[in-house]
């Protein structure tokens, strides 16, 4: 789902091997074991304009972590500008087993306090 321009910015030596590690939940667990890490939050957020992630990223991370919720903690997102009913979408995401909601105002292109002005649906999340 990552937009090509966003991927190009992180396609460098500092991210070498990331694609292989992230290929499956089992690969992530092996990486965690090799680095003595007990658990990891698998953070995703809806930001189609900046990163390319659509609401389907929530369903993807829920499936990716489904068999390993003791160690891989799924984090999802609701984009208040892309949801007709932000409260209902938040509940749907949580019902998938997602444990936390991530908001990323710079990548989702709204101000953190936008719920007070032009984005009241942010408060619904």
pLDDT 10s digits, 63-115: 999 999 999 999 999 999 999 999 999 999 999 999 999 999 999 999 999 99
Q: Check residue 62 and give its pLDDT.
A: 98
Is 78 in contact with 93 (CB distance < 8 Å)?
yes
Three-point CA angle 106, 49, 118, nearest 5°? 60
Q: How far apart are CA 34 and CA 74, in angstroms?
A: 21
| pLDDT band per the 50, 70, 90 thresholds, residue 27 | very high
Stronger pLDDT, 4 or 114, i.e. the higher one: 114
| pLDDT band per the 50, 70, 90 thresholds, residue 17 | confident
Q: How far apart are CA 113 and CA 76, in angstroms?
A: 20
Contacts of residues 113-122 at CB distance under 8 Å and 24 or more positions apart, as own/partner, are 114/80, 119/80, 119/81, 121/80, 121/81, 121/83, 121/86, 122/80, 122/86
């Amino acid at each position: 789902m990552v937009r090509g321009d966003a991927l190009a910015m992180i396609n460098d030596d500092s991210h070498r091997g990331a694609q292989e590690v992230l290929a499956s939940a089992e690969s992530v667990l092996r990486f965690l074991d090799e680095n003595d890490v007990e658990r990891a939050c698998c953070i995703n957020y809806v930001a189609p304009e900046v990163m390319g992630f659509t609401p389907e990223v929530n369903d993807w991370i829920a499936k990716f972590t489904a068999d390993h919720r003791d160690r891989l903690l799924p984090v999802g997102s609701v984009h208040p500008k892309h949801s007709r009913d932000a409260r209902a979408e938040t509940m749907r995401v949580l019902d998938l087993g997602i444990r936390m909601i991530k908001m990323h105002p710079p990548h989702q292109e709204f101000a953190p306090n936008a719920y007070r002005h032009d984005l009241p649906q942010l408060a619904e999340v």
